[in-house]
Amino acid sequence: MARIDSEKILVEVRRRTLWVGDSAAYPLPQITAVRRHTLVPKREVAIKRFAERTGPVLGFTVAAFAVLAWLGSKVPFLAYLVLTGASAGLIAPAAVRLVKQLRLPRLYALLVHTAGGQNAFVVNEKESLVRQLMNQIVEAIDNPHATLSMTVENYYGDLVEGDKILGDKTVNKGWSD
């Protein structure tokens, strides 16, 4: 199940260091690259999983209704109600999961590369914000007197079984690169 949480973090450049909230600091001279990464929801996977989960239930329901119709008036109306309720009860959770996954937003991650590897430190829905932050960090790398102070909404969490960008920056079961 997709779970996205967010928090506001302060991103700053001061004293030639990129500070990300109270969790990370990157000395600007050690940053080798800064890039934006787009995470696109895998809607076709969500639809396929919904079909796989509900297909057998729907098939059974259609067959059961055909049998009930064939039996005609010998079957009490309550049998139709029980069959309908049971089928709806089995399909509803999968339908709710599908709707949640189809509503997942496209996310943009800002990746910072250092000699030690790459880290995603900001994930946000707004491409323009991530692009602006990237441009300001690159400017700060080139300009020793540059400063930056910006509060941004940062998304994190288990976003559905898949691509790990960094620790809790899991972007998955609903997103592709």
**Region 53-70: what's the mean pLDDT?**
94
Residue range 8-51, pLDDT digits in tens: 999 999 989 999 888 888 899 999 899 888 888 888 888 999 99
Check whether 161 has a pLDDT greater than 50.
no
Per-residue pLDDT tens for 96-129?
Answer: 999 988 888 888 988 888 887 777 778 889 999 9
**Predicted pLDDT at 162:** 40
Note whether 108 and 123 are within 8 A (CB).
yes
Fold category of 5-42+105-176 in CATH: PH-domain like (2.30.29)
Tokens 């800002």 — which residue? 110
pLDDT score of 81: 93
Position 171 pLDDT exceeds 50 = no
pTM for this predicted structure = 0.71
DSSP string, 53-109: HHHHHHHHHHHHHHHHHHHGGGS-HHHHHHHHHHHHHHHHHHHHHHHHHHTPPPEEE
155, burial (CB in 10 Å: exposed 0-12, middle 13-18, buried 19+): buried
Interatomic CA distance for residues 140 and 131, integer angstroms: 14
Integer CA distances (angstroms), 59 to 51, 62, 80, 90, 129, in order: 11, 5, 16, 13, 47
pLDDT of residue 158: 52
In this prediction, residue 170 carries a pLDDT of 41
Where are the chain's structural domains?
A: 5-42+105-176, 44-102
pLDDT average, residue stretch 127-134: 94
Here the tokens at position 97 are 């999961």
Helices 43-71 and 77-102 pack at an angle, to 10 degrees, of 170
When pLDDT is cut at 50, 70 and 90, the band that residue 3 belongs to is low
176 alpha-carbon distance from chain centroid = 9
Distance CA 4, CA 107 (A): 11
